[in-house]
Amino acid sequence: MNQLKQEKIRVIPNGSVSSPKGFQAGGIHCGIRKKKKDLGLIISAVPAVSAAVYTLNIFQAAPIQVTKESLADSPYLQAVIVNSGNANAYTGEQGLLDAYEMRDTVAKTFDLSPMNVAVSSTGVIGERLPMERIVEGIAKLPDSISSENGLAFGEAILTTDTFVKSLAIEIGIEGKKITIGGTAKGSGMIHPNMATMLAFITTDANIHPEALQKILRDVTDQTFNMITVDGDTSTNDMVLAMANGLAGNTPLNENHPEWEVFYQGFTYIAQQLAKWIAKDGEGATKLVSVKVDGASSLMMAKTIAKKIVGSNLVKAALYGADGNWGRIIVAIGNSGYPVDPHTIDITLGPIMVLKNGQKQRYEEEEVTEALSQSEVEIQVDLHLGEYSAEAWGCDLTYEYVRINATYRT
């Protein structure tokens, strides 16, 4: 995003999915987890144009199947119910019935059409939901939601995350204030393919259904699909967008004169959420960004950037602040693309360590210092073309192993 366009974006303090006009949200503890909030809801005052992208894991969890069914019926949703602590994945026919019961209970409680309710779950795979507790929890949600309670929703959807990932912005279109909010969860089992983790984006913009689906796919490819923590794509990954039109603008599509303003705002929300997920990788101590320039195709740039940021050898070296750029070369070579070894530049932080395939003179201590920061940038220039891409990830630590060795306990 260039500076001029970013100046048109105003970040709302403590913003969330309930910041756009007509949206409410909240989260409570219903007993799936021991103490933490574990049941959340987003609801719009009117049916909202909606779009989603989903995991490509062949074992798609029951909630995804139910949400897909709702959106196949029409591109409108009015609410989404989310639980944490239990993924309702690989639970057979009963799991599907439980997801339907969650949907139908929300619809009855809030006087909505069941087909206007989406369902999402996250947590342990292979265990049935405690439906009695969830149904009782849904009955308490009307008293727990408001336009000011979006951060509680963000808290309710967390699993091994260490912080709530929520924000909202304002942009101007046709002289009207348009608000876009977002909340996500994700810490481990993050290696997106079409979608990733759980992310929810709300806006009061008026937008054509086809335009919302297209922008969601395009922006997901640039943001959520460019993060990786551990190489695993979950059974429950989903990104869902809802636009209720209450800002009162002329319907947006790619032919609208201010489409680019909305596109940049939507991208800003998704990119920030994606970077927070990468930064909050299980046990992570640093956010890692990898920028690849000079590729001969966009797919080449994307693939190599993700190969580098997803390499366990690179991630372990970054944890130890070890400037072993040879591991980056290995990752590039494993991309499957023909690369000229004599034209590669590599920069770690501000320090160029390789130019035209030749090691440069630098102080190891300076590289170590650069890699010891909480945010680390790696830049690679292939000098083969004009395409660029950026990917985000984190380092690989002892704590990651501990968390995942004891996940169910």
Q: What beta strand segments (E) does 324-374 contain? A: 345-348, 351-355, 358-359
Residues 161, 84: contact at Cβ < 8 Å?
A: no
Q: d(Cα 19, Cα 281) in Å, to the nearest integer?
A: 27
Q: Write the burial class of residue 315 (CB in 10 Å: 0-12 exposed, 13-18 middle, 19+ buried).
A: buried
In angstroms, how far is CA 399 from the centroid of its own chain?
22
Domains 3-278 and 287-405 share a fold: no
Q: What is the DSSP string of 19-46?
A: -STTEEEEEE--SSSSSS--EEEEEEEE
Residues 288, 392: contact at Cβ < 8 Å?
A: yes
Strands 165-173 and 10-11, sheet pairing: antiparallel
What 3-state class would DSSP assign to 89? coil
User: What is the distance in angstroms between the CA of the first residue and the CA of the last residue of the chain?
Assistant: 43
CA atoms within 13 A on the CB side of 44: 31
* Sign of the C-alpha dihedral computed for residues 262, 180, 301 and 377 taken in this order: positive
Q: d(Cα 156, Cα 26) in Å, to the nearest integer?
A: 8
Strands 39-54 and 76-86, sheet pairing: antiparallel
Residues 48, 113: contact at Cβ < 8 Å?
A: no
Per-domain residue ranges for the chain? 3-278, 287-405
Considering the segment(s) 287-405 as one domain, its CATH architecture is: Roll (3.10)
What pLDDT does residue 7 have? Answer: 59
Catalytic pick among 105, 160, 179, 196: 196
Among 126, 123, 134, smallest CA distance to 158 is for 123
What pLDDT does residue 366 have? Answer: 95
Q: Write the burial class of residue 221 (CB in 10 Å: 0-12 exposed, 13-18 middle, 19+ buried).
A: middle
Active site residue 228: no
Residue 293 identity: D
Q: d(Cα 188, Cα 60) in Å, to the nearest integer?
A: 17
Q: d(Cα 215, Cα 194) in Å, to the nearest integer?
A: 13
Among 127, 312, 334, 101, smallest CA distance to 235 is for 127
Q: d(Cα 163, Cα 166) in Å, to the nearest integer?
A: 9
Which fold is adopted by the domain 3-278?
L-amino peptidase D-ALA esterase/amidase (3.60.70)
- Give me the tens of pLDDT residue by residue for the chain, a chain 409 residues long: 444 355 589 999 999 999 999 999 999 999 999 999 999 999 999 999 999 998 777 678 999 999 999 999 899 999 999 999 999 998 999 999 999 999 999 999 999 999 999 999 998 889 999 999 999 999 999 999 999 999 999 999 998 788 899 999 999 999 999 999 999 997 543 444 433 379 999 999 999 999 999 999 999 989 988 887 544 456 788 999 999 999 999 999 999 999 999 999 999 999 999 999 888 766 678 889 999 999 999 999 999 999 999 898 999 999 999 999 999 999 999 899 999 999 999 999 999 999 999 999 999 999 999 999 999 999 999 999 999 999 998 888 777 677 667 655 5
- Long-range residue pairs from 353-360, CB within 8 A, at least 24 positions apart, any chain: 353/323, 353/325, 354/325, 354/329, 356/383
Q: Which two tokens stand for residue 398?
A: 């002892």
Average per-residue pLDDT for the chain: 90
What interhelical angle do 209-222 and 259-279 show, nearest 10?
40
Q: d(Cα 303, Cα 124) in Å, to the nearest integer?
A: 30
Q: d(Cα 294, Cα 300) in Å, to the nearest integer?
A: 10
What pLDDT does residue 188 have? Answer: 43
Strands 198-203 and 238-243, sheet pairing: parallel
Query: What distances in angstroms separate CA 225 from CA 64, 194, 195, 238, 395, one per listed residue?
Result: 18, 6, 6, 11, 18
* Sign of the C-alpha dihedral computed for residues 184, 186, 189 and 190 taken in this order: positive
Q: What is the DSSP string of 166-185?
A: EEEEEEEETTEEEEEEEEEE
